[in-house]
Amino acid sequence: MQWLEGLWTKEGAGIDKNAPPLTGLALFLDILRREWWEMVKLNLLFIIASLPVVTMPAAMLAMARVCVSFARDENTYLLRDFLEAFKRFAARGTALAAVSGLLVAAGIYATTSYAGAARLQLVYSLPFAISLAVTLFLILLSAYATVLLARQDLSLWETLRQAAFFALAKPLPMLAALGFVAALWIAHILFYPVSVFMPATMNFSLGMFALCFAARNVAAEKRRRLPEPAGSGL
């Protein structure tokens, strides 16, 4: 049974210390090439941990924590790292998911309501545009908050504060990552049933890795522009 234990507990793939540093898409593809099998296992772990449904936020934060290590080119011990993060982020992950879900849902409701009204009366075009912009900002805030909480282990308030800053200051990298995530699920829908195994094998972990990769430089930006966090915990 040692081979089965090694499948989940062995150290992840490393990088050649003498290789020239890669950036941007080249780095993303290089990490994906080296860690694709770990991402498949991570995707399976996330699905299993999310089966009770109420554990999904904690599982999402645990997956994000492992993907942060992938984006940083750190060695990972997949099962250990996932379980440790699952326990650590259970409360804050659930709280963040609840807050983000409510905010985004309210934004989508307002946007769709004003969109319907704007078809009948042009005066509602401005409220529609504002609600659309606010909803997009809330989606960016939620994505950044997920990565920041997993990466820096902050309090919920500090996480949201920093996420709001980066959603305004650096929207394009996260927008690109969200577009990539949307493309994954659109491909699953368009190519179904050929793509029936995409969610089970890669969509969740690869999508989260894209978000973490997009936010990989926020720690350096935080040190230059933001004060140090007050602490961790709810």
List pLDDT tens digits, range 177-234.
999 999 999 999 998 888 888 888 999 999 999 999 998 876 555 544 544 444 444 3
Cα 88 from Cα 161, distance rounded (Å): 20
CA distance linking residue 160 with residue 80, whole number of Å: 27
DSSP 15: -
Quick one: pLDDT at residue 76? 84
Side chain identity, residue 217: N
pLDDT tens digits for 163-189? 999 999 999 999 999 999 999 999 999
pLDDT of amino acid 124: 85
Domain residue ranges in the chain: 23-97+143-155+169-225
What distance separates the 2 farthest-apart alpha carbons in the chain?
69
- State yes or no: pLDDT of 26 exceeds 90: no
Neighbours of 122 (CB within 10 A): 9
pTM: 0.82
Rounded to an integer, what distance in angstroms lies between the CA atom of residue 214 and that of residue 211? 5
Check residue 13 and give its pLDDT: 53
Residue type, 222: K
- Close Cβ partners of 145 (under 8 Å, ≥ 6 residues apart): 96, 100, 159, 160, 163
Task: Please compute the mean of the pLDDT values over residues 88-117 and round it to a whole number.
Answer: 93
Q: Write down the pLDDT at residue 119.
A: 87
Identify the DSSP state of 170.
S
DSSP state of 147: H
Helix (H) or strand (E) holding 223, with range, is: helix 218-225
Expressed in angstroms, the distance from the first to the final Cα of the chain is 41
Estimate the crossing angle of helix 90-120 against helix 78-88, to 10 degrees.
Answer: 70
Predicted local confidence at residue 120, as pLDDT = 86
Interhelix angle 156-169/218-225, rounded to 10 degrees, is: 100
Contact at 8 Å (CB) between 91 and 122?
A: no
Residue 217 has a pLDDT of: 73
Are the C-beta atoms of 187 and 198 separated by less than 8 Å? yes
Percent share of the chain, pLDDT over 70: 84
